[in-house]
Amino acid sequence: MSARLLDYSGNQQNMNVRSSLFFSFFLALILIGLSINSTFDILNKKDAVASAWAEVAIQLNRRLELVSDLLITSHKFMPSESENLALIDESLRNISPTKIELPNEEDLIKIVKAESYLLLTRSDLTKLAASNQKLLQDGGFQNIQDQGDRTENRLIVAKGKFVIAVKVLKDSSASLFGFLPSKILGISPPPTFDSSMPLGPQSPNFVDFSK
């Protein structure tokens, strides 16, 4: 009788061990699956951030082109303002096109400062044009202004999508199953547009993304 009890107890222990091993193996598979899924999710969201920034960069560069075009047109019709226009021209030449690659915080601050300067420059050119009937009546000048308005609208949308994409990546990277993959892959959310960044009519002479 005691032998049977010992045999039953041993079998029960073996079953418990096997059950524990099976449960541990099953749990490990679930965790590995979740980690793999989180890894792909993090990579997809990183790509979404890069894609969103590329659109922002395209619109920023388009704005720079259009302001330069406004300046060229203004030169033709406002020779009396040649000195002021020459100063603007010199400053614009020192603004490098925005890179498609994701910016670091220092680059983003420079971009925001240059943005402020370009908006101010466009405003100044518009004010100068207001006193020049020939320039106001020039179809090319008005066409550039219209393109500029459309570009500003597209830029607002692109910036909004970029800010959202960065937030989504940040949330995923901080999640339970996304934290480790993001650390292993070295993925961290890039800086984004923030109200705390310095704005104002700053000289863009130091802006240089070629370095």
* pTM of the full structure: 0.75
AA letter at 140: G
Is 20 within a domain?
Answer: no
Residue 84 domain-assigned?
Answer: yes
Q: Is residue 194 part of a domain?
A: no
| Phi then psi dihedrals of residue 111, to 5 deg | -65, -45
Which range marks the domain in which residue 124 is found?
A: 36-185
**Is residue 25 a part of any domain in this protein?**
no
Say how far residue 15 (Cα) sits from the centre of its chain. Answer: 56
Number of C-beta neighbours around residue 51 at 10 A: 12
Between CA 211 and CA 52 the distance in angstroms is: 23
Q: Note the pLDDT of residue 110.
A: 85
Say if 71 falls within a structural domain.
yes
**pLDDT of amino acid 210:** 32
pLDDT digits (tens, 9 = 90+) for 97-142: 888 888 888 888 888 888 888 888 888 888 877 777 777 777 788 8
Structural domains counted in the chain: 1
- Cα separations in angstroms, 100 against 51, 72, 113, 180, 211: 9, 26, 18, 28, 14
**Domain-embedded: residue 119:** yes
- The SS3 assignment for 202 reads coil
Domain assignment present for 180: yes
Convert the pLDDT of each residue in 41-90 to its tens digit: 888 999 999 999 999 999 999 999 999 888 888 888 777 777 778 877 87
pLDDT at 38: 76
Domain membership of residue 145 (yes or no) is yes
Predicted pLDDT of residue 149: 92
What average pLDDT does the chain have? 78
